Structure 1
Amino acid sequence: MNIDLSGKTALVTASSGGIGYAIAAGLVESHAEVIVNGRSSSSVDAALSRLQQQYPQARLRGAVADLGSAEGVTALLDQVPFVDILVNNAGIYGPRDFYDTDDAVWEDYWQTNVMSGVRLSRAFLPGMVAKQWGRVVFISSESARNIPADMIHYGVSKTAQLALARGLAKRVAGSGVTVNSVLPGPTISDGFATMMQDEVARTGKSLEVLAREFVMAHRPSSVIQRAASVEEVANMVVYICSQQASATSGAALRVDGGVVDDIL
């Protein structure tokens, strides 16, 4: 399958590292012009430099903005008036007991994980509909369907993304614009590597081995019995952004390694 996104402009939020960076790289490889977003100029510049080295012919732009507030989204929109592809990857996560999770934490998660996608979709969808082509993808999580007891606030925000994506798909039905969610499971991301840094040094085990042990200890229902790579998640996203995926909209597509134990 030859995915060619020539002539398309894609914005991947929070793409200076991790899954977002892998998605940006995949879209570049498919010949899209890619806008890299991060919260600091240094992180965005570093990601742009790295991408340009990997793909010398890449068409790249940077957009510095913290999407955890309405003001931050406005700052991004001032830099990026239109895109053909929007990948809502910005998000925060972390364990916290439900009884210790106050309103301020809930609000932070809601603003970053949900409202950033609401605001950007509201801004960009009309232009996509006018062109009769567009792609919106929400990077949710297996936690949207498998709510973790130690991250209820996070799980709720990820479930909300599924509802939002499905509703938007119906809102733009028949327009040539698709809206979907992708649900990664345990993934060897930059964040996971940082979390495991001391353990790698202490045990001498590779990151991949530690990730496998983590999955078997905490997600024993995994069918692949290992963590995914960021590239494996990105592959699904790039496909969903392609012309070949034009019949898929309103879907919640799992890249969770079978962690969620059902057949739907």
Structure 2
Amino acid sequence: MIIDLSGKTAIVTGSTGGIGLAIARGLADAGASVVVCGREAGRVDAALARLRDTRAGKLARGVVADVGTAAGCQALIAAEPEADILVNNLGVYGVKAFSDISDADWEEIFQINVMSGVRLSRHYARGMQARGWGRIQFISSESALNIPTEMVHYGVSKAALQALSRGLAKSLAGTGVTVNTILPGPTRTEGVTTFFTQMAKERGVSLEEMEALFLKENRPSTLIRRFASPEEVASLCVYAASPQASATTGAALRVDGGIVESIA
């Protein structure tokens, strides 16, 4: 299958590293003109430099904005009023016992993980609908279905994305605009590696041993029995953004390594 996104503009939020940068690279490899978005100018510039060797890397451009806020979303929209592909990848997580999750914690995670996607999708969907073609994606998580006890607020925010995605897909039925969620499992990003390196030090094991212990203790249903790479997640995102995926909408697409115990 040859995926050609030439002539398409793709915005990927939270794309200066990890899964977001891998998605941006995958879309640029397919020919899309990619907009990298992040909070820090230095990280945006570094991400753009890493995209220059892709098929459409010379077309990549960056926007510095904190789209976890309403003002940041407006800044991105002002800089890039139109897009054919929107990947709502921005998200945060943090381990905290349920009894310790404050109202402020709940508000923060919803503003960043959920409302950023609401605000941006509300704007960009209008143009996509008018043009009769578009792709909107929300990067959720297998934690939306397997709510982790160590960060309930994160799991709830990711479950909200699935409801949001399904509702938006129904609102855009028959328009040529598809809307889907992507559900990664544990993925070896820079942030995750840093987090697990600290856990490994605390338990006196190597990083590789810590990852294996985490899967055994917290995600025992994994079928690949390892962490995924950001590129493996990105491959599914690129397909869902393609013309070939025109009949895939309103779906929760898993790239979770078989963790979710369901055949539906």
Q: Does the alignment reach a TM-score above 0.5?
A: yes
The alpha-carbon distance between structure 1 residues 217 and 174, as it changes in their structure 2 partners (threshold 3 A), is: same
**Does residue 235 in structure 1 map to residue 235 in structure 2?**
yes
Letter in 2 for 1:79: A
Q: How far is the alpha carbon of 1:72 from its aligned partner?
A: 1.1
Letter in 1 for 2:10: A
What is the TM-score when the length of structure 1 is the normalising length? Answer: 0.95
Structure 1 residue aligned with 2:39: 39
* SS in structure 2 of the partner of residue 94 of structure 1: coil
CA distance in 1, matches of 2:232, 2:257: 10
Structure 2 residue aligned with 1:66: 66
Q: How far is the alpha carbon of 1:134 from its aligned partner?
A: 0.1
CA distance in 2, matches of 1:118, 1:25: 24
**Does residue 184 in structure 1 map to residue 187 in structure 2?**
no
Structure 1 residue aligned with 2:9: 9
Structure 2 residue aligned with 1:111: 111
Structure 2 residue aligned with 1:244: 244
Structure 1 residue aligned with 2:52: 52
CA distance in 2, matches of 1:227, 1:88: 22
CA distance in 1, matches of 2:14, 2:205: 31
Structure 1 residue aligned with 2:122: 122
Unaligned segments of structure 2, at least 5 residues: none
CA distance in 1, matches of 2:205, 2:49: 31
Count of equivalent residues: 263
* SS in structure 2 of the partner of residue 93 of structure 1: coil
Contact 2:28 2:56 (8 Å CA) reproduced: no
Structure 2 residue aligned with 1:80: 80
**Does residue 195 in structure 1 map to residue 195 in structure 2?**
yes
Q: How far is the alpha carbon of 1:55 from its aligned partner?
A: 5.2
Letter in 2 for 1:223: L
Q: How far is the alpha carbon of 1:210 from its aligned partner?
A: 4.2
CA distance in 2, matches of 1:46, 1:263: 41
CA distance in 2, matches of 1:55, 1:7: 12
* SS in structure 1 of the partner of residue 247 of structure 2: coil
What is the alpha-carbon root mean square deviation over aligned residues? 1.8
Unaligned segments of structure 1, at least 5 residues: none
* SS in structure 2 of the partner of residue 151 of structure 1: helix
Q: How far is the alpha carbon of 1:211 from its aligned partner?
A: 2.8
What is the TM-score when the length of structure 2 is the normalising length? Answer: 0.95
* SS in structure 2 of the partner of residue 96 of structure 1: coil
CA distance in 2, matches of 1:247, 1:262: 22
CA distance in 2, matches of 1:209, 1:85: 38
The alpha-carbon distance between structure 1 residues 57 and 254, as it changes in their structure 2 partners (threshold 3 A), is: closer
Contact 1:31 1:58 (8 Å CA) reproduced: no
Contact 1:23 1:237 (8 Å CA) reproduced: yes
